[in-house]
Amino acid sequence: MLERLDTVDWTAVHHAYGPATDTPDALRGLLDSDPEQRQRAGRQLWGTLLDDSLRNYATAAAAPFLVELVVDARTPDRAQVLDLLTCSVAGTFSVASPPLLDDGGPDVHPILRDIYQAAEVAVPTCLQLVEASDERLCIAAIYFLATMWRRADEIVPALHARLSRAPTRAVRGILAFALGHLRPADPELARLHADDPDPAVRVVAAVGLLRAGDPSELALGTLIAAIADPDTQSALQGFPAFELGVADLGRVLCGLPPRLGARAVPTLCAALPRTEGFASLGLAQPLLYITFAGEPMPDAHVLTPEQRQALGAMLEHPGLWHVGDRHFLLRDYRLPTTRTELAALLAAPQS
């Protein structure tokens, strides 16, 4: 394997930190007999090829070699390599973060086009791995296939077949995730939302249904109920395609028309105190998006009761004010960026 690595002029290819001359050894490191060395090589590739999920020319150059490792059954830790390949194709890809990939548009960046074309070679192997007995490998394969939108007609039947064999909750969850991206109007996705015994799977299915472009009240209700449930965070812990648990669900609301999310405002306000760190932004962001209709506050503006409720909940959550990105979120809405200034705004009498 990887015999062609040295045919690439890695001095002419740059990753996040300069010439990618260390990339060949890192790729070979994924084959090391020592698991610790393989993990170290993986971390290096994540850091250089996917720094902050930004792809670069070295990511595109490495993609065919990641595919080579994925399709060879002798590769150890194939799930790790598959995750690298998936994020090379799609960037950060989760329930709350849509993929940023070659979408077939005329303005797609050549890097994303080249990565997608290289990765597509792995589709037949991953269709087989959907049936893998190794759950982690199965999940990684389905996660990758969720990015391959051009091959949806052959991928979706394979997902249906896997679903028919009573998979575990984690596998059902990633199947719902993939169907939500490849075929959000798929009847199997609606069935998972209506009938699956696991609430986390139903939530993932609801997110997929909401992505279909015609949000249903039932799916929206499932999402809001999950945000309201204090046990949601633990239920989603480690679940495929989630990064920040309940905060991811809040960010999903930012993909809907603000008027549809209006009934979620009290739930978001009540859930905000249960979050910490960056997760608090995942609820503050939809609160502002919904109550300000996605637009900055006009210079002369009287706050509505819903806006006061949202801003009051943010004011009362001390942890939010220790997150630096909170400044930029408030600034984007032309709102006060310090706690003292926001308190003054809320204390101002209404006209």
Write the DSSP assignment of 203-240 as a string of letters: HHHHHHHHTTSS--HHHHHHHHHHHH-TTHHHHHTT-T
Q: Of the residues 129, 150, 183, which one is the last residue of a structural domain?
A: 129
The answer to whether position 120 is within a domain reads yes
Q: Of the residues 129, 164, 183, which one is the last residue of a structural domain?
A: 129
Query: How many domains is the chain built from?
Result: 2
The answer to whether position 247 is within a domain reads no
Q: Give the confidence band of 205 by pLDDT, cuts at 50, 70, 90.
A: very high
The answer to whether position 285 is within a domain reads yes
Q: Give the confidence band of 325 by pLDDT, cuts at 50, 70, 90.
A: very high
Helix (H) / strand (E) element for 295: namely none
The residue segments making up the domain with residue 276 are 257-351
The answer to whether position 18 is within a domain reads yes
pLDDT confidence of residue 103: 92
The answer to whether position 342 is within a domain reads yes
The answer to whether position 167 is within a domain reads no
Does the pTM exceed 0.85?
Answer: yes
Place of tokens 């669900």: 249
Measured CA to CA, the distance from residue 306 to residue 22 in angstroms comes to: 53
Q: Of the residues 95, 129, 163, which one is the last residue of a structural domain?
A: 129
Close Cβ partners of 220 (under 8 Å, ≥ 6 residues apart): 206, 210, 256, 260, 261, 263, 264
Measured CA to CA, the distance from residue 56 to residue 35 in angstroms comes to: 27
The answer to whether position 32 is within a domain reads yes
The answer to whether position 179 is within a domain reads no
Mean pLDDT of all residues belonging to the chain: 92
pLDDT confidence of residue 350: 52
